């Protein structure tokens, strides 16, 4: 039906429907605008929250790293190696490591090495103490190589080994060899007469007169195909 053929009532009805659709569209547009604003505010809040969380994580990580570096620095300052003079003829290397975080001071065992005290703290320090002792004793000569360390006692050369309880010297020279007898006599001059439970197997109980309770020095044959001698300080 053409517009000119419609009645006034029909035209009014069409106009009213058009206005109603237009009103609904405007309402929906307004609603969509409000929703877009709400979504924008939510996204902005999320962005700010993520940034604040990242900043907090960075600050916490930096704080922890600073505390760890400070603790390590304090520990290094607490660990001091010193050489203390025992008397005019002897020197001893003492490692003092203060464990302040644990509330106690670390205590290391001490053994008698050719009549001189050695603190059994760490591998590097023990070798340094052996070197210091050898420099002050005409019978001893300490040599440090790339792969091994040796200690000559008189004319006998020993390889130096360290375990958790003491120092082990190993030589290819037999116990009953003439030049090894010089080593036995040297030890007798330091620790006195040894116990010999079998030929070539010597024991010295250092604690009897040296103040080292339960410490011993032992010389015995090396049980291997090549043979040799083992000298143990523990």
pLDDT tens digits, residue range 173-232? 999 999 999 999 999 999 999 999 888 899 998 875 555 777 899 999 998 888 999 999
Here the tokens at position 141 are: 């000569």
Name the strand (E) or helix (H) holding 44. helix 8-78
User: What is d(CA 191, CA 170) in angstroms, rounded to the nearest whole number?
Assistant: 20
145-152: average pLDDT: 90
pLDDT at 131 over 60: yes
114: number of Cβ within 10 Å: 20
pLDDT at 90 over 70: no
User: Which one is predicted more confidently, 11 or 173?
Assistant: 173
DSSP assignment, residue 87?
Answer: S
Range picked from 7-11, 47-51, 144-148, 226-230 for highest mean pLDDT:
226-230
User: Which one is predicted more confidently, 81 or 125?
Assistant: 125
The pLDDT value recorded for residue 146 is: 80
Phi, psi of 55 (to 5 degrees): -65, -40
Which residues does 172 contact at the CB level (< 8 Å), separation at least 6?
226, 227, 228
Nearest 10 degrees: Cα torsion 35, 40, 41, 45: 140
pLDDT at 91 over 60: no
User: What is d(CA 43, CA 222) in angstroms, rounded to the nearest whole number?
Assistant: 80
Residues facing 202 on adjacent strands = 196, 219
Per-residue confidence band for 20, with pLDDT thresholds at 50, 70 and 90: low
User: What is d(CA 60, CA 148) in angstroms, rounded to the nearest whole number?
Assistant: 47
Here the tokens at position 215 are: 């410490």
How high does pLDDT run on average in the chain?
Answer: 77
Q: What percent of the chain has pLDDT over 90?
A: 41
Per-residue confidence band for 145, with pLDDT thresholds at 50, 70 and 90: confident
CB environment 172-196: b (16+ within 10 A), e (fewer): ebebebeebeebbebbeebbeebee
DSSP assignment, residue 153?
Answer: E
Nearest one of 170, 175, 186 to 137, comparing CA atoms: 186
The pLDDT value recorded for residue 138 is: 96
Residue 87 burial class via C-beta count within 10 angstroms: exposed 0-12, middle 13-18, buried 19 and up:
exposed
Q: Tell me the Cα Rg of the chain.
A: 44
Residue 70 burial class via C-beta count within 10 angstroms: exposed 0-12, middle 13-18, buried 19 and up:
exposed
The pLDDT value recorded for residue 58 is: 80
The Cα-based distances of 185 to 91, 161, 181 in angstroms read: 23, 23, 6
The pLDDT value recorded for residue 71 is: 53
CA atoms in the 13 A half-sphere facing the CB of 12: 3
């Amino acid at each position: 039906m053409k517009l000119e053929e419609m009645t006034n009532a029909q035209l009014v009805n069409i106009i009213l429907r058009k206005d109603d659709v237009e009103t609904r569209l405007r309402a929906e547009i307004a609603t969509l605008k409000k929703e877009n604003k709400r979504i924008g505010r939510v996204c902005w809040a999320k962005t700010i929250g993520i940034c604040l969380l990242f900043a907090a994580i960075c600050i916490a990580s930096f704080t922890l790293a600073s505390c760890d570096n400070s603790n390590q620095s304090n520990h290094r300052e607490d660990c001091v190696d010193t050489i203390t003079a025992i008397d005019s003829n002897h020197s001893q290397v003492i490692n003092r490591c203060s464990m302040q975080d644990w509330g106690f001071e670390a205590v290391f065992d001490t053994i008698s090495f050719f009549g001189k005290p050695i603190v059994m703290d760490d591998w590097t320090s023990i070798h340094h103490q052996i070197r210091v002792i050898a420099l002050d004793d005409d019978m001893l000569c300490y040599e440090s190589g790339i792969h091994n360390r040796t200690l000559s006692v008189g004319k006998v050369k020993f390889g130096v080994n360290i375990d958790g309880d003491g120092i082990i010297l190993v030589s290819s020279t037999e116990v009953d060899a003439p030049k090894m007898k010089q080593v036995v006599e040297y030890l007798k001059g330091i620790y006195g007469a040894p116990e010999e439970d079998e030929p070539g197997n010597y024991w010295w109980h250092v604690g009897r007169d040296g103040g080292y309770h339960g410490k011993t020095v032992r010389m015995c044959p090396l049980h291997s195909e090549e043979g040799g001698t083992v000298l143990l300080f523990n």
